[in-house]
Amino acid sequence: MLPQDEVYSEGTTPGLVVQAWQGDGTTGKLALADKFPVVFSPTTKVYFDYTYARLPLADTASFAPPSDAFGVEACVWTEHLPWPLIDLRLWPRLAIFARSAWSGHTGVDRCPEDEWRTSLEVHKHRLSAIGVNCSIEDLDQQYTKAIKKLWDQYRADGGDGPVTHVRNTREEHTEL
């Protein structure tokens, strides 16, 4: 069984794997101290549906799970993310996440910025070669165009079309 960290407390049934997702993973660290296996996916580091303003690349790069973590996970909640933005939000973050999660940098020993930025450039070229748009240099412009396109479709569908999930995004970006 894999309960999320909100159900973990001292005295939790042994044999469970705890999913530490809230905040910075503090509950997961407590569960590790109590000898529970823990999968870390802290919202402050690896929730890739968040905007780059809310979750900068450097925050993802600073993800350093404890060396005794059972596992790690990065999340993308697509019900809150318009389809054209998935690649832009997922990449390059997933490449940075992989570098941080499996580089051997754990605990306070974070992956140095020059390492993850160099690695990111290599991955961006690979992804571009297979048609994945992960350029963050013009992200704001692409983001604005994608949201406008979805809103135009939404309006054309009378407001009840297949992209009604864009409402959440619209509330965050009232300038569109």
- Residue 73 falls in which region: left (phi positive, over 0), alpha (psi -120 to 50) or beta: beta
**Residue-averaged pLDDT of the chain:** 75
Q: Which residues contact 157 (CB under 8 A, 6 or more apart)?
A: 163
What is the count of structural domains for the chain? Answer: 1
More confident residue, 39 or 116: 39
**Contact present, 20 and 44 (Cβ < 8 Å):** no
Task: Specify whether the CB–CB gap between 82 and 146 falls below 8 A.
Answer: yes
Q: Is residue 122 part of a domain?
A: yes
Asked whether residue 33 is assigned to any structural domain, the reply reads no
- Output DSSP code: residue 79: G
pLDDT over 70 at 143, yes or no: no
pLDDT value of residue 175: 32
Report if pTM > 0.85: no
pLDDT computed for residue 10 by the predictor: 63
Residue pair 141/153 in contact by the 8 Å Cβ criterion: no
Whether residue 127 contacts residue 88, with contact meaning beta carbons closer than 8 Å, is answered with: no
The residue-averaged pLDDT of 58-64 equals 87
Residue 16 resides in a domain: no
Domain contains 11: no
Residue 6 falls inside a structural domain: no
Instruction: Using the Cα atoms of residue 30, residue 34, residue 35 and residue 36 in order, give the sign of their dihedral.
Output: negative
In a domain, 111, yes or no: yes
Does residue 136 form part of some domain? yes
Residue 114 pLDDT level (bands cut at 50, 70, 90): confident
Q: Which domain holds residue 133?
A: 41-172
Per-residue confidence band for 164, with pLDDT thresholds at 50, 70 and 90: very low
Who has greater pLDDT, 10 or 137?
10
Place 101 in a pLDDT band, splitting at 50, 70 and 90.
Answer: confident
**Mean pLDDT value of segment 93-117:** 74
Is the predicted pLDDT of residue 171 greater than 60, yes or no? no
- Does residue 133 fall inside a structural domain? yes
